[in-house]
Amino acid sequence: MENRALFKSGILFIIVIVLLLLARCGPVVVTSRPNNPPPPWFYPNRVEVVRYVYFPEYMIYYDLSARTYLYLDGDLWVRRNVLPPRYQSIDLRRSRYERIQNYNEDNIRRYHDENNSNRGRSNRNTPGSNRNTGK
């Protein structure tokens, strides 16, 4: 009996150590295409199921599953394998990005309109804002 309890304690100790070591490795990315690694600017060790990454300063999305960039060209969202020359000076490795969780649809315009279309705009003149009018 004592040997069995000691064995169970040893196994539990080993499992805890392995879990702690794995936690120190950092996160791991899970995408729909495991053979294609994420781009170098995407933090490579994160366990998340995400399809899109958003660069708010440039209004650029990256589709991890299709490996394409999405950006506005005039009033249309276009999908390209590489960014056009106007974005070539951007270093995406040093740019801030956000992981878009729980959105897997192809229509990025709908997501953008619902979540990011007012980003950076002032809400001082919108109805219902808590602005002191001096009355």
Digitized pLDDT (tens) for each residue of the chain, 135 residues in all = 678 888 888 888 888 887 766 665 555 555 555 566 667 666 655 556 789 999 999 999 999 889 999 999 999 999 999 999 999 899 998 999 999 988 999 999 999 999 987 655 444 444 444 444 444
CB 22 within 8 A of CB 32: no
Domain coordinates of the chain in residue numbers?
15-115
Q: How far apart are CA 43 and CA 27, in angstroms?
A: 9
Cβ contact 84:74 at 8 Å: no
Give the separation between CA 108 and CA 4, rounded to whole angstroms.
57
Q: What is the pTM of this model?
A: 0.56
